[in-house]
Structure 1
Amino acid sequence: MKYLQISFYACVLFVTCLTAQNKQITLEEIWNGTFRTERMDVLHSMANGQQYSVFNFNRSTRSTSVDIYDYKTLEKVETLVDSREIDELDYFTNYTFSKDESKLILATNETSVYRHSVLGNYFVYNVDDKTLISIADEKIQEPTFSPDGTKVAYVYKNNIYIKELSTGVTTQVTTDGEKNKIINGITDWVYEEEFAFVRAFEWNTDGDKIAFIRFDETNVPEFSMDLYGESLYPTQQVFKYPKAGEANSLVSLHFYDLTTKGTKTVKVNKSYNDFYIPRIKWTNNANILSAHYLNRKQNELDLWFIDAEENSASLVLAETDKAYVDVTDNLTFLEDNSFIWTSEKDGYNHIYHYSNNGDLINQVTTGNWEVTAYYGYDEKSDRIFYQSVENGSINRDVYSVKLNGRSKKRLSQLEGTNHAEFSADFSFFINTFSNTKTPPVYTLNKATTGEIIKPIKDNKALLQQLSNYNLSEKEFSTISVNGNDLNMWMLKPSNFDANKSYPVLMFQYSGPGSQQVANQWLNANDFWYQHLAQQGYIIVCIDGRGTGFKGADFKKVTYGQLGKYEVEDQIAAAKQLAELSFVDKTRIGIWGWSYGGFMSSNCLFKGNDVFKMAIAVAPVTSWRFYDTVYTERYNGLPQENPEGYDDNSPINHVEKLRGDFLLVHGTADDNVHVQNTMRLVESLIQADKQFDWAIYPDKNHGIYGGNTRLHLYKKMTNFLNENLGDKIK
């Protein structure tokens, strides 16, 4: 009941702020953290399921610690490790436990490599005797405890090493690692970016074998970026980047046996011409490894069980799709080595239970809705915990269900976005709830019923602060476009007058499986939209065909023609909006970032009869410039589908530009290369088209750091005011 009162208070307060106050949001406030929400520290559930650990930073002492808390009381039980008590470390920035929680790996001096990967100095801290051991003198990657906590495996300069903690002896497992040629145990750039993992080695349950993936990048083309810095001469970053249709790394799977110190190369009894290994995971059997093999077209996904002793492989499961098969992290092995799997094979993403030889036992969830997160399986209660959109595709709720698919329970209570973090024994979960009127509220809940045990943290202070501002409410609806009811939100000025005529700015991302129309708390862009609404703009966001959580057919209709149906939907929607009495049809603009920038460029060019202006930030301008894994998953190979690449790329439609166009990119974007913008600029110049553009030196795909983000949004706001809002009174 307390929680319901908090949410009711939040809603009342928000409504109050909609009607009572007139303070205007400034761009400086958006980007200096004024509207930042309080959030829960990243926590790790302890093995006993009754406690959790939290990484804490003490601002007054500039020290860090790992503290243990009790789930039921939420009180601190003890400090496990504090950097103030370690002479060798001023601070640490991350930590991981050994399986028995007697040791921790502490990270310091971490520096980013790409989106997910880091290099750092790492130490093993012993909880019992408070001793500290350096894992390596050099900066290394992905240090990982063996199951018994006596060893640590890691990667240094593309080779795998194992350190015996009791003796300090380090064994080098591989020797052929070389920059931009051979990588052992760490993924290459495109795997990291598109398959979203870095560590490509795994200990088995007995700790006597390591499985690892080897990447041979030798034939992958190199990409180079100039880094301007502050020195007299710029430097250059050179890395392997396979663009669509070009050579990928040759991947192979291997076993290293710690007893024999020998390495085996895995062979499966199926011929793959060109393939990926996007996931490996040991089963509960110490000799059996599971591995995903995915063909280059990504429409055939095979699950193999590989015997490390016999070096033999069995094909357990094969998924095929006319478009593509998504790779997930949901594979879970039960005690009998039967396993949980998620799949879209019935048209919606659902949970399945298979035997240890791949026979389907049952489909656990079913319906015309999507499972959006799989949280895990509790052997004791025989229940699976998951998140889904059963309560509408813009909402998220937490559920539990028996392994046989019966006795389903909704565990979350309020409409909006709910996300759960479960204790190790599935006794409790911390639920994070928000919607467009309520910033994140954290509660401790019983996993059996969802009952709220106690509130943990809310953002009443932020709501109180926002009550001083003149804010508008997001209005959710659907719009019928090209035979589909598309999710939409609209933000109107708080003093909206239906008898007046307003300029409209449309925002979208539109990438495959994405979602922007969601019932959740405001992000920084939402506060920018509030700023624009205060100036007299209407903001609209529409998730068109190709976006997610409405079934596989809706998502995959764009396969092979990226940018065709998505652009058609935005143009058609804009034309419908133009017919509204309160919309000035001569002043409709559109903007987006990354895939959204690709879209906004295309919409301005192809929809030149409806869009007056567009802003494109870090856009793909030709799919021929983007990486193999992402582009070929959704568009096929360019050698086999040249029209799908060229017909819908903005670079080939510049002659249609009639409106105002702002193009923005960072020069150190290792993801969507600034080459995209430079080639589009040259095409626009040769077509004698005028446009505006901005280049941010040494900034990556996110274009941030120091004053950068504020500068960017000032530029975009000024561009809007000059070209879309010039008639706002």
Structure 2
Amino acid sequence: MLKHFIAVIFLVFSFSIQAQELKTLDLETAVSQEYRSLYPDRLKGVEWISPTNFATIGDDGELMIRNTAGDTVRTIIASDLNPQLTKLKVDSIKSVRPYAWLDANTFLIRCGGDLVSVNTEDLTAKMYMHIPAKAENIEFSSASGYMAYTLENNVFIATSADSAIQVTNHSKESEISAGVAIHRSEFGITNGLFWSEDGKSLGFYEMDESMVTDYPLANYTPIPAEVNLIKYPMAGQKSHHAKTGIFVVGSEELVYLKTGEPLDHYLTNFTFSPDGKKAYLAEINRNQNEMKLNVYNAATGDFEKTLFTEIDAKYVEPEQPPYFPKGDGKEFLWMSERDGFNHIYSYTADGKLLKQVTKGNFDVLEINGQTTDGKTIIVTAVEGLIDRAIYAASVKSGKMKKLTAEKGSYQVTMDKGDNLMVALSSPEYGNKVTIVDVNGKVISTPLSAENPLEDYKIGEMEFPIITAADGTKLQGRLIKPYDFDASKKYPVIVYVYGGPHAQMVRNDYKGGANVWMYEAANRGYIVFTVDNRGSGNRGMKFEQAVFRNLGTVEMEDQLKGVEYLKTLPYVDADKMAVHGWSFGGFMTTSLMLRHPGVFKIGVAGGPVTDWRMYEIMYGERYMDTPEQNPEGYKIADLKNYADQLEGDLLLIHGLDDNVVVPQHSYTLLQQFVTNGKQVDFFTYPNHEHNVRGKDRVHLMTKVLDYIDLHFKE
């Protein structure tokens, strides 16, 4: 284990007569204000509307148009527009939030079910389009001005103020849904509607769930309670069947891509070629160890060619569609983890590999945009264990130029242009926003916001590095009380998640932590987290270390974190608690049952307790099916360890949880009863997989009060 750690002094105080007294952080503020008053000032709703101007929303809901020098060139407030909206007989607005931009001088606002166009020069407003108030999954094409949306389980396209086309016609009883995110939003899927560049063709996903088992949840609000049946495909069971449709406005033709069998494969990463004549689709087998990038004729749906195939002994997981930097359709970029890290590859349109554009032992997380000529792309990449960096990469040569110098976490706003907006967050910077060119030259700094936590009594945060059993370096985070005294012994709360795609420890203004963790530290705890193998942004070897044995390697690494804590002279090794939610709930319960005695207290929220009862796409990727991997499922089934519980365990579950269904907690509770083990259980009615809104304060009060109570016994 490395003795070295990176210490970050979170607060630098200047005490003087004029110094403001620091506030005491209470739990209600920590939870309810985390993304409000405790969040650094930011530029809201940023959108580039021209190469030199961008739009953003002010604190009072005003629309501000600013230039790259950072100057505000135009401000529009709601009262400027409401008189005209009244004349159009549409709903008035309280803030000016563009729904979409038609050009640099014209934007759309949504007034209930009406879309109104507004000219920024003379503030004239015109009725543009009407969409139903209950419309969902709305996608606008600025090229054609058409609006696609879903209503119930069908796709519609609004083409004018009083005209809409119904694209699909599925009855509710058919159990077919069109235009929605399919495959439970795995494989990078976030939506189900896709416009071609000219806005004349609409691609969409569709899923038939008629073969998927109905799963009963309950609505306890009415008297008597009612059954709420959802579709939930559990590991090894039947999955829904997916299709991809294309509808052409004008000809009114609808075709489906002829993707063939087996019908339970996964379809993802859909996009059109720049001319709209071809459709690209990544197709993954049910075992998730083979992906084919296929091309189809967009007019007929006919299969044309498999451009390439990616195979992995464990799993493949494409999450980004082909990206066409030059816009001519001759070449595209593809993101792949084939060399062990997520990188960008350049291909010709017919599937010939030109080169690997980015290389190195780090993951590229995102293509943020490109220069006007398409020769250079801007990407966000992982740097070290907790930082991010922004690079300009030459598509032809692969040469990468780093555009950011300071350590921290970055977000980029860019389109097709030669300027980008970069937001930096770190313990030193709450939120520093700069506009830079593609060479990294700073043009202006529109915002430099302080860390709002500096107004509170917040303890020191450290980033220790732990060594796993195989030598892998693991990143930790340790938060001390504000009034920390090195001569004292402190109990510990270990917060754990540990699952794929997640990184709990990051170099941002609060170290990746939730603000409640700082409040918990001030109660007199050391609050600790470590990102174990299996978590995100560390390459495939790091993530796939847990394949077919979820929980085992992750716990080994968490216990290395415990070993580290025990070396600290101010840690009370006899008083350790563990808490986590979802995969973290699985980890919490696993640690309490499979390594009894390490932790005196566990609070597990929404825990997976038996992977046979989790959904297909995620579960089978990491565990295979129960039939293929019976031993792995048996080892991870927490009911098998219920008799080993030592200490105090609280299970918490949302009663309407449609992600980790409540059966996970109920079946484990029954096993505790069978084994004569006393545990605590609390459920949140009317909440799904997490407890949000005002009730979250109740949740975190329950979690921390439970730990406080049992450590005081």
Tell whether the structures are fold-level matches, with TM greater than 0.5.
yes
SS in structure 1 of the partner of residue 205 of structure 2: strand
Do the aligned partners of 1:18 and 1:494 also contact (CA within 8 Å) in 2?
Answer: no
- SS of 1:354's partner is strand
1:318 paired to 2:309? yes
In the alignment, is the contact (CA less than 8 A) between 1:651 and 1:680 conserved in 2? yes
Q: How does 1:54-93 map to 2 (within 5 A)?
A: 54-55=56-57, 58=60, 66-79=63-76, 84=82, 85-87=84-86, 88-91=90-93
TM-score normalised by L of structure 1: 0.87
**Structure 1 pair 98–38 and aligned structure 2 pair: CA distance change class (3 A):** closer
Q: Which amino acid aligns with 1:90?
A: S
Q: Is the 8 A contact 2:201 2:248 kept in 1?
A: yes
Hey, what's the Cα distance between the residues in 1 that align with 2:149 and 2:693?
Answer: 31
Seen in structure 2, the aligned counterparts of structure 1 residues 100 and 76 have a Cα distance that, compared at 3 Å, is closer
Counterpart in 2 of 1:371? 364
Matching residue of 1:433: 424
Distance in structure 2 (CA, Å) of the matches to 1:14 and 1:31? 21
Paired residues for 1:486-635 under 5 Å = 486-522=474-510, 526-635=514-623
1:170 aligned onto 2:184: no
- In the TM superposition, 1:222-261 aligns within 5 A as 222-229=214-221, 231-261=222-252
Q: Secondary structure at the match of 2:430?
A: strand
Distance 1:287 1:385 in 2: 27
> What residue identity is the alignment partner of 2:56?
V
Q: Deviations over 1:621-660 (max 9, x none)?
A: 1112221111111111222112222311323321110111
Does residue 16 (structure 1) correspond to residue 3 (structure 2)? The answer is no
Q: Which residue of 2 aligns with 1:210?
A: 202
SS of 1:516 mapped into structure 2: coil
Which of 124-133 and 661-670 deviates more?
124-133
Residues 489/209 of structure 1: CA separation in 2 closer, same or farther (3 Å cut):
closer
Match of 1:409 in 2: 401
Distance 2:462 2:340 in 1: 29
C-alpha distance after superposition, 1:109-156 (max 9, x if no partner): 6xxxxxxxxxxx352536486222452345212333456435333222
Instruction: Output the CA distance in 2 between the equivalents of 1:525 and 1:463.
Output: 12
Q: Deviations over 1:521-562 (max 9, x none)?
A: 228954322223223211211111111222211111111111
| 1:184 corresponding residue in structure 2 | 178
- The whole-number CA distance in structure 2 between the counterparts of 1:384 and 1:257 is 31
Partner of 1:670, secondary structure, is coil
Amino acid at match of 1:224: P
Name the counterpart of 1:356. Answer: 349
Partners of 2:197 and 2:275 within 8 A in 1: yes
How far apart in 2 are the matches of 1:344 and 1:30? 38
Amino acid at match of 1:135: H
Give the letter for the 1:709 counterpart: R
Question: 2 CA distance for matches of 1:227 and 1:105?
Answer: 38
C-alpha distance in structure 2 between counterparts of 1:356 and 1:144, whole Å: 27
Aligned to 1:51: 53
- Asked if structure 1 preserves the Cα contact closer than 8 Å seen for 2:411 and 2:422, the reply is yes
1:160 matched to which residue of 2?
155
Going from structure 1 to structure 2, the CA distance change for 1:500 and 1:41 (only over 3 Å counts) comes to same
Segment of structure 1 superposing worse, 681-690 or 157-166: 157-166
The one-letter code of the counterpart of 1:451 is K
One-letter amino acid of the structure 1 residue matched with residue 710 of structure 2: N
* 2:5 alignment partner in structure 1: none
2:703 is aligned to: 716
Corresponding residue SS for 1:562: coil
Letter of the 2:39 counterpart: R
Deviation string for 1:361-417 (max 9, x for gaps)?
111111112212221232427211111123x12111111121134542211121111
The percentage of aligned residue pairs carrying the same residue is 26
Say if 2:505 and 2:511, in contact at 8 Å, map to a contact too: no
Confirm or deny: 8 A CA contact 1:305 1:314 kept in the other structure. Answer: yes
Alignment: residue pair count: 687
SS in 2 for 1:396: strand
CA pair 98-70 structure 1, distance change in 2 beyond 3 A: closer
1:79-116 CA-partner distances (Å, limit 9, x unpaired) = 3986524121233886443664676554466xxxxxxx
Q: 1:461 to 1:22 in 2, by over 3 A?
A: closer
For residue 449 of structure 2, what is the aligned residue in structure 1? 459
Describe how 1:260-279 pairs up with structure 2 within 5 A: 260-268=251-259, 271-272=261-262, 274-279=264-269
Q: What is the rounded CA distance, in whole Å, between the counterparts of 1:51 and 1:252 in structure 2? A: 40
How far apart in 2 are the matches of 1:105 and 1:699? Answer: 34
Question: Which residue matches 2:42?
Answer: 39
Is the contact made by 1:420 and 1:431 (CA closer than 8 Å) also made in structure 2?
yes
SS of residue in 2 equivalent to 1:301: strand
Query: For structure 1, which runs of at least 5 residues remain unmatched after alignment?
Result: 1-10, 59-63, 110-120
Runs of 4+ in 1 over 6 A off after TM superposition: 17-22
* Distance change >3 Å, CA 57–CA 415, structure 1 → 2: closer
For structure 2, the residue ranges without an aligned partner over 5 or more in a row are 1-7
The alignment status of 1:446 with 2:436, answered yes or no, reads yes
What is the CA-CA distance between 1:704 and the residue it aligns to?
2.1
Distance (whole Å) between structure 2 residues aligned to residue 140 and residue 399 of structure 1? 39
Q: Identify which of 119, 128, 131 aligns with 1:136.
A: 131
Deviation of 1:612 (Å): 1.3
Q: 1:176 to 1:12 in 2, by over 3 A?
A: closer
1:273 positional shift: 5.2
Q: Give the deviation of 1:233 after TM superposition.
A: 4.0
* Displacement of 1:448: 2.4
Match of 1:298 in 2: 288
Whether the 8 Å CA contact 1:291–1:305 is kept in 2: the answer is yes
- 2: CA distance, partners of 1:257 / 1:408: 40
Q: Distance in 2 between matches of 1:420 and 1:340?
A: 19
CA contact (8 A) 1:105 1:124 kept: yes
Do 1:336 and 1:356's aligned partners in 2 also have CA atoms closer than 8 Å? no
Give the drift of 1:616: 0.6
Residue 327 of structure 1 is matched in structure 2 by 318
| Structure 1 counterpart SS, 2:572 | strand
1:30-66 CA distance string (max 9 Å, x none): 13425333222021211x22112234574xxxxx665
Q: 1:477–1:489: 8 Å Cα contact kept in structure 2?
A: yes
Secondary structure of the residue aligned to 2:413 is strand
In angstroms, what is the RMSD of aligned CA positions?
A: 2.9
Cα distance change on mapping 1:579 and 1:208 into 2, 3 Å: closer
| One of 643, 647, 651 as aligned partner of 1:655 | 643
Matched, 1:638 2:626: yes
Contact 1:587 1:724 in 2 (8 A): yes
Contact 1:122 1:143 (C-alpha < 8 Å) held by counterparts: no
Length-normalised TM-score, structure 2: 0.89
Q: Does the 8 Å contact 1:287/1:307 carry over to 2? A: yes
